[in-house]
Structure 1
Amino acid sequence: MPRPLPLTAGIDLGSTSLKLLVVDGDGTQVACEQVATPWRSGAGGTTELDAPALRTALDRLVATTAAALPDGTTVAAIGIAGMGETGYLVDDAGEVAGPAFAWFDPRGAADAAAFSAELRAEFPGRTGLPLGAQVSLAKLAHERRRGVPLERYRWLSIPEFAAAHLGGDVAAEYSLASRTGLLDQNSGEPWQRALDELGVTAAFLPPLRWAGSPWGTASAVASGPFAGAALTVAGHDHLVAAEALGSLHPGRYHVSMGTAEVILRVTDAPLPPEARARLAAKLINEVRHIVPGRHVIVAGVKSGLLLRRALQLAGIGDRDGRDELDAAVSALPFEGVLPDGAIVASGARNDDGVLALDIRSDGVSPAELFGAVLRHSNDEIRILLDAIERELPPATTTTLTGGWSGMSSVRRARSRVLPDLTVSTREQDTAHGAALLARTLLRSSR
């Protein structure tokens, strides 16, 4: 009788919470725990993550999950996924220069505008990203302007930093490095012009590895089920979640609805620089996937953020209230019953996020308001899909996942703009995908 496959685990370092999920050899969840991401908020939307606070939260997450497992359990491997733009400047002794900035922190906008004309012109086609405050390069330029000696440090994204904290290697993963603005998508190497403007060398990015590669072991975990587990960095969270569902192939959209609504489309080869530049002009990324040799188009709208604020405007703060509103929105015609133009919503663009409502009629109910926000975000998604489909053949199917996909009104809205929509019912896709990717370590060790 064959021996059962060992347990593996996935860590998802998300904007809202840090999650650790353990699966058995069949991929069935055995345990899942989470702790809040310990951000510190400041004036003007600034949001930081102190390294000691993150280390403490990770240690607590590991200990809490270990306590939830039966005595004698051993976890063979751990995969770590998370956000890509947020990270730390780390020196050779493991000390950090300061807190990590959230990907949505506004700092770096002025620094992005102050880069040389040559870098700004070349940036979208070279990196596959639009140049703005969100990319790590802009925040690094902000730190340099504050007097931080960047040349004394290396850059580690949050998942790479977590791997090192658990005892693993100091290395960079391709899909995460693709979020920084420091990676040349043509060569897969650090982009020299960006390094020069920061005043650093190619060593500023640690050695690059593919997701699923060996990353050392959890040697810093002294005891318990996770002690000594093989480690890997699984990559950028949205890509890991899509691969967990098996839903990311060239003819399909994968749409994840959280605070941001992220639209993914995989390609079997990189697009040419001029196509990347056209997409970047629409705030669409084309970067490296977690699967070697593949690239992925990443588009987004801030629909989840706007929907949350619409709930707050309606005074709804619990699940029962949300369900009642969902039923009320679904009972209305999709266009509502008010005259055309009675409610005009805006703010879903990925460079916006401020819900603005122009109300020109009486009789505006919470259901009408929520429906108007859904229609507005549909319009913004259509703009993104049109841009993508000018570079690639139209997709024929869509997988929708994420917390908002549980609302029937949301599913109805998205079925009007996304092709052949199906909805995933699995929770914690990113952690699950990281746990599944960790299995590659076990296969490679046989």
Structure 2
Amino acid sequence: MTELLLGVDLGTSDTKVLVLHADGTRVGTWRRPTIWRRLPGRRVETEARTLLDGVLSVVTDALTTLDEPRVLALGLTGLAESGVVVDAAGAPKSQVIAWHDPRGAEQLAKVPADFRDAFPVTTGLPFHQQWTIAKLLWARDHGLELTPGCRWLNVPEYIAFALGADPVAEASLASRTGMLDLDTGGPWTAALDLLGVGAGFIPERRYAGEPAGTVRNPDAPGALRGATISVAGHDHPVAAFGAGAVGSDDLFNSCGTADTLLRAIPRVVTADERRLLTSARVEVGRHILPGTTLVNAPSRAGLVLRRVQTALGATDLGVLDAAYAGADASKATVTGSDVEADDVGIALREGATPADVWAAAVDANAGYTADLLARIAPVAGPYSRAVAAGGWLRLASIRQSKSAVLPGLTFSTIDQPGGFGAAVLAAWAAAGSPGEIGEFSARLRPGSFFVPSR
């Protein structure tokens, strides 16, 4: 019998499962596209069942290739802000609205001034419609009844629940809802009152690395049933954990569709510090690690690069990547890295080539990364080690531009650090959370996982 650990990463673009042997050696990664329905007005949504089916399908893909598999533990990480309202019986009552969907802006504009003023310092989030509460206000105005017994589950929490786990709220995911009081770590009463729900709307808190239950869903593959489930948390801090970059002097750069700088501060930051960071459009929340604050400075760099690629008609980025060193980025201007930007702008000067436009986009994103680093420094302080991971780092142009603005940058060689982090946290939960999580994870981590930035 082949005993396995699974880490599932429910991403915006793909749902991935990383499969490890029980000793941490890698079996492989399987993926399927995450299915969304696109509607007029840039609205994007899906069904809770569609997400569950996607997870079951990709896990089945993996397990059917193995000889007598048995899954010991399943960790779930993924996108935040999106999720589902379930009724008292556990049935979904709402659509899953994508985190980048613009719905909710109109409802937020009507909230009382005192709520708006208190929102950033209480929740650690800049006041805009990305967060769950905006989506819930919109849904309530469009027919969703938040009846007694209803609960909110973020996407990884819902998948865990649908597979057989308890309904739980993991701290890093709850921090992205706009309904968590960072000082207390519990629900923010003013947010619940605004929605007209009680404290039970947010389920019992369960930290990453704590068991949430076992797989009992009859639709799950037989090899998965009985596995310990742990909700590992929001994909960015889980990837930082997977890459081994959650120390107080570590900087982690997640280089995906959303490109973010992350710092872990081993305390709850003060109200004044939250006010300073949120005014600079930096996000603050609870980390997957207890007693730790996550500082998250986001950009839309990956989205900028994808849109520029589409505009250039570049089916093979290898050509643009190879031409980066000799391109003239001054011949074009590319904008759109800021998280509040809706559009990507491209301005061309005489003689600009596709390679020049690509270079301008890469350099603009790097410049914005340097700006984000300066925004978080007053609270997080200097870093002594910088680690980057993510799909865009396959390109030399991205690695070079990142290294130019993040001194001492190294790159994680762990493929799918989010899935790896989720699998390790689930394994720790299944083992009864023995000792310190850092020591436990070191036993499962590949021996050499940093490479020089050059």
The verdict on a shared fold, with TM-score over 0.5 as the criterion, is yes
Greater mean alpha carbon deviation, residues 48-57 or residues 156-165: 48-57
CA distance in 2, matches of 1:258, 1:184: 28
Task: Find 1:276's aligned residue among 274, 282, 286.
Answer: 274
CA contact (8 A) 1:151 1:201 kept: no
CA distance in 2, matches of 1:250, 1:445: 22
Partner of 1:398: 386
Q: Cα distance, 1:213 vs. partner?
A: 0.9
Counterpart amino acid of 1:431?
Answer: G
Structure 2 residue aligned with 1:28: 25
Aligned counterpart in structure 2 of residue 425 of structure 1, from 394, 409, 413: 413
Match for residue 41 of structure 2? Answer: 44
Within a 5 Å distance, the mapping from 1:50-61 to structure 2 comes to 50-61=47-58
For the residue of structure 2 that corresponds to 1:307, the secondary structure is helix
Whole-angstrom CA distance in 2 between matches of 1:394 and 1:59? 43
CA distance in 1, matches of 2:74, 2:230: 6
Structure 2 unmatched ranges of 5 or more: 435-454
**What is the CA distance between 1:271 and its match in structure 2?**
1.4
Aligned Cα RMSD in Å? Answer: 1.7
CA contact under 8 A between 1:305 and 1:353: conserved in structure 2? no
> Does residue 294 in structure 1 map to residue 283 in structure 2?
no
Instruction: Structure 1: give runs of 5+ residues left out of the alignment.
Output: none
- Counterpart amino acid of residue 128 in structure 2: G
Larger displacement relative to structure 2 (61-70 or 132-141): 61-70
Q: Aligned to 1:48, what secondary structure does the other structure show?
A: strand
1:302–1:353 contact (8 Å) kept in structure 2: no
Q: After the TM superposition, which of the residue ranges 372-381 and 281-290 deviates more from structure 2?
A: 372-381
Structure 1 partner of 2:325: 330
CA displacement 1:160-187 (0-9 Å, x = unmatched): 1000111111111111101101000000
Matched, 1:134 2:119: no
Q: How does 1:141-180 map to 2 (within 5 A)?
A: 141-152=137-148, 153-180=150-177
Q: Distance in 2 between matches of 1:147 and 1:223?
A: 36
User: How far apart are 1:337 and its partner, in Å?
Assistant: 6.8
TM-superposed CA distance for 1:330, in Å, is 2.1
What corresponds to 2:448 in structure 1?
none
CA distance in 2, matches of 1:5, 1:269: 41
**What SS does the corresponding residue of 2:380 show, helix, strand or coil?**
coil
Hey, what does 1:377 align to over in structure 2?
365
Q: Is the 8 A contact 1:396 1:419 kept in 2?
A: no
Displacement of 1:41 in angstroms is 0.7
CA drift at 1:155: 0.2
Percent identical: 37
Q: Secondary structure at the match of 2:405?
A: coil
1:348–1:354 Cα contact (<8 Å) kept: no
After superposition, what is the alpha-carbon deviation per residue over 1:31-86, rounded to whole angstroms, capped at 9, x for unaligned?
42222111111111110011221222222223222202212x21111111111210
CA deviations 1:292-328 (Å, max 9, x no partner) are: 11111011111111111211222111xxx31111110
Write out aligned runs for 1:179-190 (5 A).
179-190=176-187
- The Cα of 1:248 is off from its aligned counterpart by 2.0
Quote the Cα distance in structure 2 between the aligned partners of 1:347 and 1:445: 43
Q: 1:156 to 1:16 in 2, by over 3 A?
A: same
Moved more, 99-108 or 111-120: 111-120
Instruction: State how far apart, in whole Å, the 2-side matches of 1:7 and 1:445 are.
Output: 18
Aligned partner of 2:344 in structure 1 is: 355
CA distance in 2, matches of 1:18, 1:191: 31
CA shift for structure 1 position 151: 3.3
Is the contact made by 2:210 and 2:433 (CA closer than 8 Å) also made in structure 1? no
Report deviation, 1:378.
2.1
Q: Is the 8 A contact 2:209 2:433 kept in 1?
A: no
Structure 2 Cα separation of the partners of residues 121 and 5 of structure 1: 54
DSSP 3-state at the match of 1:395: coil
Alignment-mate amino acid for residue 148 of structure 1 = L
Letter of the 1:312 counterpart = T
Counterpart position of 2:437: none
Residue 265 of structure 2 corresponds to: 267
SS in 2 for 1:34: strand
Aligned CA distance change for structure 1 residues 397 and 223 (closer, same or farther; 3 Å):
closer
- Looking at structure 2, the residues matched to 190 and 364 of structure 1 have their Cα atoms a distance apart, in angstroms, of 53
SS of residue in 1 equivalent to 2:355: helix
Tell me which residue corresponds to 2:443: none
Q: Is the 8 A contact 1:257 1:401 kept in 2?
A: yes
State the secondary structure of the residue aligned to 2:128: coil
User: Which residue does the alignment assign to 1:228?
Assistant: 226
> Contact 2:60–2:221 (CA<8 Å) still a contact in 1?
no
Deviation per CA, 1:215-239: give whole Å up to 9, x if none: 1110114652211111111111111
What is the letter of the counterpart of residue 136 of structure 1?
A: T
Residues 223/411 of structure 1: CA separation in 2 closer, same or farther (3 Å cut): closer
One-letter amino acid of the structure 1 residue matched with residue 188 of structure 2: W
Task: Please state if 1:218 is matched with 2:215.
Answer: yes
* Match of residue 285 from structure 1: 283
Look up the equivalent residue of 1:303 and give its one-letter code. A
Correspondence 1:204 to 2:201? yes
2:445 is matched with none
Q: 1:15 aligns with which of 12, 16, 25?
A: 12
Q: Counterpart amino acid of 1:398?
A: A
Partner-residue secondary structure (3-state), 2:324: helix
Q: Show the counterpart of 1:193.
A: 190
Helix, strand or coil: the match of 2:165?
coil
CA contact (8 A) 1:31 1:69 kept: no
Q: Provide the C-alpha distance between the structure 1 equivalents of 2:238 and 2:213, rounded to a whole number of angstroms.
A: 20
Which consecutive segments of 4 or more residues in structure 1 shift more than 3 A?
A: none
Superposed displacement of residue 353, structure 1:
4.5
1:106 matched to 2:102: yes
SS of the equivalent of 2:152 reads strand
Aligned to 2:92: 96
- 1:289 offset after TM fit, Å? 0.5
Residue 151 of structure 1 aligns to a residue in which SS?
coil
Corresponding residue SS for 2:5: strand
1:32/1:149 Cα in 2 relative to 1: closer, same or farther (>3 Å)?
same
Shift of 1:392: 2.8
Task: Indicate the SS of the match to 1:437.
Answer: helix
